[in-house]
Structure formats: C-alpha cells, structure tokens
Amino acid sequence: MNTAEQITRRVILAYPKFISGQPIITGLVREYDLEVNIYRASVTPNEEGYIALDITGDEEQIQDGLEFIKSFQIDVNLTMNSMLWDENKCAGCGNCVPHCPTNALHVIDDRSRKIDFSRDRCIECLKCIQNCPFGACSTIF
C-alpha cells in the first residue's frame, strides 16, 4: 500500500483536435496508480475537447501522470475550474445558493450577506450558470 501523503489536484485537460481516441485516463489509472474523478468531459473526434477532473495520489505519482498526459500534447491547467465565477459580475443576490449542491457558492456571513465561491468544493454541475441572473457564472466548455 502506498504510504506517501495522498493529495488531490483539480485538473482541466485541453485536448487538441488530433488526439481524441487515445485511452489517456485509463493510462493514469493503470500505469500511474492514480485515482481519477471526472466531473465533466467533452471529447469528440476531430474537435478540440476538455476534461475536468480530480486526480488523487502522492505528489510524485501525480507529477509523473501529468507528464504522461503532456506527452500527448494535451494542455494541463492546474489553476482553474472549468466553471468560472466572476466576482465583479456577481450582484450578491444569492439565487445560486439553493441550487449549488456542495455549497461551493455560499453566503460569507449573516451581516454583509456577500457571496463567495470555494473552487475546491465545486463539482461543476453548472446549475449556477442557468440560475445566475447576472451572468456571473460561465464555463470554458
């Protein structure tokens, strides 16, 4: 059993047109012993595609796995979710809150009642996009 500290990274993979059809996620599981949790995927032959997923394993396994992915010319983004929340467009109404199943979008405190977004909790269900009256939520795919 792997005793190294297990960490989870949110990863957005951007597939170039020519790569779809390769069993890349399977490789992460079989070759690098990583646990993957795919939130959303849109990978179609002859089109650019995206996968939003969490990868869990120890730091070294994750780094090796990401290098493996990059070897297919896939762009790896570790700094964002595919769901984007624009704080400047958010009017703070809170209409999104009951529609967000994981409380990623939540009221900060009872006094100011401002809204904040915790990207780690977001499972990219995209319910917020159709429920934001002000267009503050969007997705890259």
Partner 1 sequence: MKTYEEINKKIQSGKAVVLTADEIMDYVDDKGLDQAAAEVDVVTTGTFGPMCSSGCFLNFGHTKPKMRMTEAWIDDVMAYAGIAAVDVFLGATQLQHNDPANTYYPGDFSFGGGHVMEKLVAGEELQLFALSYGTDEYPLKELRTYFTIDDLDQAIMTNPRNCYQNYNVAINCSDKPIYTYLGELKSNMKNLTYCSAGQLSPLLNDPLYRTIGVGTSVWLAGDRGHVYSEGTQHGSDCLRGDNNVPMEGAGTLALTGDMKKMNSDFVRGVSLKGYGVSLALGVGIPIPILDREVLRHCTVRDSEIFAEVIDYASAYPERRGDIVGRLSYAQLRSGSVDLKGKKVKTGSLSSYSKALEISELLKDEIKRGDFLLSQPSQRLPVKQGTTPLDVRAQGETS
Footprint of partner 1 (CB under 8 A): 91-99, 107, 110, 112-115, 130-131, 133-135
Q: Decide: 11 and 77 in contact? Cβ < 8 Å.
A: yes
Tokens for 21? 């059809």
113, exposed or middle or buried, with CB in 10 Å at 0-12, 13-18, 19+? Answer: exposed
Closer of 25 and 132 to partner 1 (Cβ): 132
State in angstroms the smallest separation of the CB of 53 from partner 1. Answer: 27
State in angstroms the smallest separation of the CB of 141 from partner 1. Answer: 17
Closer of 18 and 134 to partner 1 (Cβ): 134
State in angstroms the smallest separation of the CB of 93 from partner 1. Answer: 4
Q: Decide: 81 and 52 in contact? Cβ < 8 Å.
A: yes
